[in-house]
Structure 1
């Protein structure tokens, strides 16, 4: 079930999956992948310049990740189009949560802070599984 956040004319949809084949619970490693779709319903192209993630593990530890673009790209998203990518998140606990924002700029120079919806990371054996 996708998680959705809409900021102005930009929608961000996230679907998350636990990856048991890349996890090793006995070694304190759990791994999730997440598929993001950024949709531009506006009248101007927008370019994604930066990302900012807040990751909280099952013990309440906060990790902040900031960086240029996503998966090595700074995509230009034209009106009516979308950009999809898949990335991953390792944790040392069987559960956690992620949220964040993207920093975009429109073709007219407007700066947009676009919300990434919060989503839970739930692995086998976690209290919320």
Structure 2
């Protein structure tokens, strides 16, 4: 049986060479997130919580309303995609977190974002 509240999150990343300055330990990355409502109830993305870790183990947490200025409402099997960015002090890092969701029936739940890596592939071979 399908779960009432189920959000699927996937990510792709890209190293932004033209926005990075390795000589200053500044590595820029874009990440594209795809969110799909696999549940049975429409839900709105209320807020986000990111945990971003660089290769030195330095962690930063980011919390805020919505994503890219929006709080998308997703009907069952509907998706939303957005691209954002992050700057690290190292050429390798990782992100993970969660979206706080509000279902149409008033239920609040979290949609977890599995860890994904950020890497300047040219520097990590």
With normalisation by structure 1, the TM-score equals 0.88
Residue correspondence of structure 1 range 53-72 to structure 2 within 5 A: 53-72=50-69
Given the alignment of the two structures, is residue 104 of structure 1 paired with residue 101 of structure 2, yes or no?
yes
Q: Deviations for 1:63-110, whole angstroms, at most 9, x for unmatched residues? A: 000000000111111111101100001011111111000000100011
- Name stretches of at least 5 consecutive residues in structure 1 with no aligned partner: 1-7
Q: Which residue of 2 aligns with 1:125?
A: 123
Q: Which residue of 2 aligns with 1:81?
A: 78
The whole-number CA distance in structure 1 between the counterparts of 2:90 and 2:12 is: 20
TM-fit CA distance, 1:125:
2.1
The whole-number CA distance in structure 1 between the counterparts of 2:78 and 2:17 is: 33
Given the alignment of the two structures, is residue 44 of structure 1 paired with residue 19 of structure 2, yes or no?
no
TM-fit CA distance, 1:49:
0.4
Root-mean-square deviation (Å): 1.1
Whether the 8 Å contact between 2:6 and 2:111 is mirrored in structure 1 is no
The whole-number CA distance in structure 2 between the counterparts of 1:41 and 1:28 is: 40
With normalisation by structure 2, the TM-score equals 0.91
- Name stretches of at least 5 consecutive residues in structure 2 with no aligned partner: none
Aligned length: 120
